[in-house]
Amino acid sequence: MHLISEICKGNPLIPRMESLADTLQTMGMPHMASSLDAVCSTLERFASVEFEGEVRLALKSVPGEVKADSDVEEISQGFIAKSGDSDVRIRKTVVNSAEAETTYTLTAKHRPLSQESEMVISKEMFDALWAVTSSQMRKTRYKWNGWDIDEFPDGKVVAEYEYEEGAKEVVVPPELSSVILGKL
């Protein structure tokens, strides 16, 4: 019935995709059900995605100087599928509290190899998929000097720096080193 089963055959990350497409079809959104084929195409591209390394640190808090000198993103995200170290998620990002600067994305990620593929989706598709996601979360992201610092409602803070293959060293700035709890 759907191209999804053909494209994603054997992919352990997609056990929910066919039922999700059927749900969208039932909700009267056949165009959105067929749009999920793009999700599987995104997953297929993992083989051609370049390496991306990352440093992840747990922090005590977000330093005041970081908050004062950052672009701020309010992020809502939910997971469509998870399998081991891989996941497919959707995300709504509002930049600097400006609804006009809102983006909706679908991301497929495989952590051990730090592979990620992302595509922009419509608000309509985000809203339909949001209703069937699991593990929904919200966080505030401070984008500062190449670092993404995420602050969660429960007080947890994670700093992440992404680097390309061949990078020799990642230097943690003093503003962050004073609040590091440990590596993740």
Superfamily of domain 51-183: Hypothetical Protein Pfu-838710-001 (2.40.320.10)
Q: How far apart are CA 151 and CA 140, in angstroms?
A: 5
Sorted by where each begins, the domain ranges of the chain are 51-183
Q: How far is CA 100 from the centre of its chain?
A: 20
**DSSP symbol at 155:** S
Note the pTM of the prediction, 2 decimals.
Answer: 0.74
- In terms of Cβ atoms closer than 10 Å to its own Cβ (0-12, 13-18, 19+), residue 125 is buried
Whether the Cβ atoms of residue 36 and residue 22 lie closer than 8 Å to each other: no
Residue 5 to residue 91: CA distance in whole angstroms:
24
Structure tokens at 155: 């007080």
Q: What is the pLDDT along the chain (184 residues), one digit of tens a residue?
A: 343 444 344 544 444 555 666 666 676 666 665 666 555 555 555 444 445 678 899 999 999 999 999 999 999 999 988 777 778 889 999 998 877 789 999 887 776 656 677 888 889 889 988 988 888 999 999 999 999 999 999 999 999 998 876 676 788 999 999 999 999 8
The residues facing 96 across adjacent strands are: none
